[in-house]
Amino acid sequence: MTADDRLARPLDRAGPAPLHDQIAARIRELIASSAWPPHYKLPAEPVLAARFGVSRGTIRRALKTLTQERLLVQVQGRGTFVAATTLEQPIAQEMLSLAEGLERQGVAFETEVVGASLTAADVRLAALLGIEPGDAVFELVRRRSVAGVWVAFLVNRLRTDVCPGIERQDFGRRTLFDTLEQVYRLPLAWARRTFEAQSAQEEVAARLEIPVGSPVLYLEQVTYLADGRPVEYSDVWIRGDRLRLSSILKRASADQREEVAWLE
């Protein structure tokens, strides 16, 4: 049963359980089954209200319950997301790709395209990209070197309905974000990015030419267009002994901190 099928199941309007509790239970089911994985962006309140046939107030009560249970995270101006299973610290910063960050610092780098092909989205990826399981996605696998040393291994997956023919682009010569913005005129607006310390598994270790188990920084990102549609999902592994990430942060006001206080 798909996520849409579960949402479409009629509510028991004559039963003792309030509608908002039934909706909360339905969303818990979607999260528990991974039909809505961590970082999945929920449909907007009017869409959910229409699917369930209830008022937006009822939807808000259900979402509030799940937010209090730390199953959902509401980010001001961005929407509601399924919470991560580990603690996260939000960091506001400029959205730059790894290549753009290196270019800004004047660091010369080289990119090798390991693979570029069309594949079918699995259930988790389809949910994160807002498409249907089995829909075509473009998978781009690359690694990046600085001064002859491999410093990053990148796997990007993009929905192809907004960038048809992207598999024919030369990503050894131009960056992904530049291609999306300059070739396809897609307005990349924001991204949700998380970091995690990991030990390099076999494929990552082989691509970065480091021993298995070496410490690496893992970066997971979902990139969104200006209209709120997700367009790209990426997995990136970075050698911490060769490349460090830094941020310039600005302290928000107390009111603003309250809006984005979403430690999960």
Written out in words, the top-level CATH class of the domain with range 3-82 is: mainly alpha
Residue boundaries of the structural domains of the chain:
3-82, 98-239
- List the pLDDT tens digit at each of the 264 positions of the chain: 566 666 667 888 888 888 999 999 999 988 888 888 888 889 999 999 998 999 999 999 999 999 888 889 887 778 898 887 654 444 445 566 667 676 666 667 788 999 999 999 999 999 999 999 999 999 999 998 888 889 899 999 999 999 999 999 999 888 899 899 999 999 998 888 888 889 999 999 999 999 999 999 998 999 999 888 999 999 999 987 776 666 555 555 555 444 433 333
C-alpha to C-alpha distance for 97 and 154, rounded to whole angstroms: 11
- CA distances to 81, 208, 222, 259 from 255, rounded to whole Å, are 21, 43, 27, 7
Which residues have a Cβ under 8 Å from the Cβ of 59 and sit 6 or more positions away? Answer: 20, 23, 45, 48, 49, 52
Global pTM value? 0.66
What would the CATH number be for the domain defined by 98-239? 3.40.1410.10
Contacts of 155 (CB under 8 A, 6+ apart): 139, 140, 141, 234, 235, 236
Do the domains at 3-82 and 98-239 have one common CATH topology?
no
Residue 262, both tokens: 């979403």
Determine the Cα–Cα distance for residues 80 and 82; give it in Å rounded to an integer: 7
Strand 188-199 to strand 149-159: parallel, antiparallel, or no bridges (unpaired)?
A: unpaired
Arithmetic mean of pLDDT over the chain: 83
What percent of the chain is predicted at pLDDT more than 70? 80
3-state secondary structure 60-119: HHHHHHHHHCCCEEEECCCEEEECCCCCCCCCCCCCCCHHHHHHHCCCCCEEEEEEEEEE
Task: Kindly state the tokens that stand for 222.
Answer: 């979902």
